[in-house]
Amino acid sequence: MLSIRGLTKRYGERTALDKLSLEIAPGSFTVLLGPNGAGKSTLFQVLTGLFAADEGEVTVAGFSHRSEPAAALRSLGVVFQQMSLDLDLSIRRNLSLQADLHGLPRKVAAERIVEGCRRLNVDVDLDRKVRELSGGNRRKVELVRAGLHRPQVLLMDEATVGLDPKSRRDLLAALHEDVATRGCSVLWATHWVEEAEQADRVVVLHKGKLLADGSREEVTRALGEPSLEQGFIARTT
């Protein structure tokens, strides 16, 4: 579903991604675990076309970034670390603007907006301004927005930053449900080990390279400490 081959990205002398290769299967929830500076945001910036890689290839849902960029990008939904809703517009307006960008018919968009907000328990009037929402609800609206065009791959870049534990759990649960019901693939970047609890797969990124890859148990074993958290700290600091 998402194929990353030999991806390298340099900022001057610094190599942020170092010949990174990763295959993400359909209908899977993969946690990309990396300390600050590991290269997670750089990877997402390259995947979403914000930056060009120096080397390597990316394919999304069978579409090559290089030869079919529009189709590749249409197959992605993204929630970035920085909140990117317009605070002075309503929830509904923020979402319908995105639907318009994707060329969704108005009726389909209106239905998906209501259905998405209901599913994520955004239990407030959709005509309220985003400024009036809690941090947790703002994140949920961003997740609804990322899924409006029904992308096959969802990229989440440290999406729980600033959320309280309940909102964090709700967001993760909603995504796991998306994987189960719609069969989309999630790549969830974080430096919080506990967010890897229900992951199908854990990928540890350190200094732009893969340090370990597999189930939670396999990665814990590969890192050589009694727990994933201990191994992660010992091997990435």
Binding site for ligand ADP (CB under 6 A): 11, 14, 16, 34, 36-42
Q: How far apart are CA 219 and CA 206, in angstroms?
A: 14
Which residue, 46 or 109, is less far from ligand ADP as judged by CB? 46
Least separation in angstroms between CB 156 and ligand ADP? 13
Which residue, 170 or 195, is less far from ligand ADP as judged by CB? 195
Least separation in angstroms between CB 211 and ligand ADP? 13
Q: How far apart are CA 236 and CA 204, in angstroms?
A: 9
Q: How far apart are CA 172 and CA 90, in angstroms?
A: 24
Least separation in angstroms between CB 71 and ligand ADP? 26
Least separation in angstroms between CB 44 and ligand ADP? 8
Least separation in angstroms between CB 144 and ligand ADP? 24
3-state SS track over the chain = CEEEEEEEEEECCEEEEEEEEEEECCCCEEEEECCCCCCHHHHHHHHCCCCCCCEEEEEECCEECCCCHHHHHHCEEEECCCCCCCCCCEHHHHHHHHHHHCCCCHHHHHHHHHHHHHHCCCCCCCCCEHHHCCHHHHHHHHHHHHHCCCCCEEEEECCCCCCCHHHHHHHHHHHHHHHHHHCCEEEEEECCHHHHCCCCEEEEEECCEEEEEECHHHHHHHHCCCCHHHHHHHHHC
Which residue, 91 or 193, is less far from ligand ADP as judged by CB? 193
| φ, ψ (nearest 5 deg) of residue 48 | -90, 5
Least separation in angstroms between CB 173 and ligand ADP? 24
Which residue, 38 or 153, is less far from ligand ADP as judged by CB? 38
Least separation in angstroms between CB 136 and ligand ADP? 22
